[in-house]
Amino acid sequence: MKQERPIRVLQVIDSLGIGGAETWLKLEPLFGRPGHTFLLMDLDTVLAGPVLDLRAQSDAPFFVDDEKLPEADSKRLYYDWERLSELDPNVQSAQRAFNSGQWFGTAGLLTREDFDPWINWTMPRTLRYPEYFMGGEQAVLNPIVALSSGHCCNKIVYKNLRAIGSDRMALLF
């Protein structure tokens, strides 16, 4: 029997004064009702195939696209982990990362305080160390989720969601 899942669409309007709302608002579902699961997708992302069914097979609190990168690319696209480890010795290489334009998460496992060392929560949101992070929330979200997998999130499932394989599923963007 197929279980119906309610779907709610959040429309984001940049007039909220958050500055870069299209990027920083992607963190907001994390701070929602504890245990609430969500799928966050950029507007230029299309689901093709049973991606939701694939997600339903896992109870991991974070289910993300597996983007394996050479170290130089991870530093260019996400964060400079060597420089960042000077501030936090627990930070690891970003050779495994995910694009924040398409990922499944669970609210209530991470708090704003988890991001405090890296983000100024003022309006507009800004990075505390822009020289270490490339881009906005995506570069900060990756090390926070990876670090938290040991203390609050149990596990992260990295799955190649962008490739159309024999199971004929993909996230396209």
**Domain boundaries of the chain, sorted by first residue:** 29-172
Say what the pLDDT of residue 80 is.
87
Question: Using CA atoms in the order 95, 155, 105, 163, what is the torsion angle rounded to 10 degrees?
Answer: 50
Say what the pLDDT of residue 151 is.
52
Say what the pLDDT of residue 100 is.
85
Separation of alpha carbons 126 and 19, rounded Å: 9
11-47 confidence digits (pLDDT tens): 444 444 444 545 788 899 999 999 999 998 887 777 7
Beta bridge partners of 135: none
Alpha helices in 45-172 (DSSP H): 51-56, 71-77, 81-84, 112-115, 137-148
Say what the pLDDT of residue 85 is.
86
Say what the pLDDT of residue 78 is.
85
Say what the pLDDT of residue 111 is.
92
Which residue ranges of the chain lie beneath pLDDT 50? 1, 11-19, 21, 164-173
Say what the pLDDT of residue 9 is.
52
